[in-house]
Amino acid sequence: SYENLSGRTALVTGAASGIGEAVALTLAEQGVRVVLLARRAERLEEIARKIRADGGQALAVAADVTDSASVGRAAAAVRETYGRVDLVVNNAGVMLPNPIEDGRVDEWQRMLDTNVLGALHVIRAFVGDLSATAAEGGTADLVNISSVAAHDIFPNYAVYGATKAAITHLSALLRSELGPKDVRVTNIEPGLTSTELKDHMDSPELATQLDGMADRFGTLAATDIADLVAYVTSRPRHVNLRQVMALPTRQA
């Protein structure tokens, strides 16, 4: 259990499954009011119901991070119910690998729109909440979920890796702007984690390759990353873990 989290208000994107769902559940267990954002409304409602049944507070907001108007409407709904958010977890993402020579512009667009522009739309909608919270002496956190793929070289994952490198560098740059305002920015880079991420890939060979990696390395559970999010956001206000990479122990 972590101190300092109770009473805070978090927005978690991509909260319908995998890491985002685990983050929402873990934060709620720590007494955080949680806004769950993703496209699948029913999945979000189900998770929010579970949180409430366990005595927590949760709001499900269906929105598409690739659409700035949709994110804006979500922000208005959040403000109406909970007021200001002081903890934002940019986690929504898609991974659609294929050889660059296949020229899958549709997949490139989805990854850039979701992983990079989606995070920016969310930051645009909530950064004012974070800096206002910090200005009043409260604790404010922006947590971006990047990936080990921001650094490691995986053939056929060029565009995905590039979107994650963008998030890692964006995090460092935002810290230079927001740190002086007492808003913490943390970039988390998970290794292989057992979630639904692989289900959206349409290359059977690359899916099989990923299964092989999971067999060799083992995987992190989504709850391992959720635990990390709770750890970094529960440090004393003057401590900012800027960058954390978490890998299955056997993943070299």
Closest by CA position to 191, among listed 167, 166, 225, 168:
225
Closest by CA position to 213, among listed 146, 144, 137, 157:
157
Using rule CB under 6 A, residue 192 touches ligand NDP: yes
In this structure, the dihedral spanned by the alpha carbons of residues 58, 17, 45 and 42, taken in order and rounded to 10 degrees, is: 160
Burial environment of residue 25 by CB neighbours within 10 A (0 to 12, 13 to 18, 19 or more):
buried
Which of 29, 64, 129, 141 binds ligand NDP (CB under 6 A)? It is 64
> Which region, judged by CB under 6 A, interacts with ligand NDP, from 36-44, 72-80, 121-129, 133-141?
36-44
Structure-token match 């057992």, residue found: 194
**Both tokens assigned to 12:** 């978690």
Which of 30, 114, 133, 168 binds ligand NDP (CB under 6 A)? It is 114
Size of site (CB under 6 A) for ligand NDP = 31
Q: Compose the 117-156 pattern: x for residues touching ligand NDP by CB under 6 A, - for all others.
A: -x--------------------------x-x---------
Residues 6 or more apart whose CB falls under 8 angstroms from that of 18 comprise 193, 195, 196, 197, 222
Kindly identify the residues of this chain, within the stretch 37-56, that bind ligand NDP according to CB under 6 A: 38-40, 43
Q: Which is nearer to ligand NDP, 9 or 115 (CB)?
A: 115
Which of 197, 228, 230, 232 binds ligand NDP (CB under 6 A)? It is 197
Measured in whole angstroms, the distance separating CA 185 from the mean position of its chain's CA atoms is 12
Using rule CB under 6 A, residue 161 touches ligand NDP: no
Q: Is residue 128 within 8 Å of residue 72, measured between CB atoms? A: no
Q: How far is the CB of 115 from ligand NDP (least distance, A)?
A: 6
By annotation, the residues acting in catalysis are 160
Q: Which residues bind ligand NDP (CB under 6 A)?
A: 13-20, 38-40, 43, 64-66, 91-95, 114, 118, 145, 147, 190, 192-193, 195-197, 222
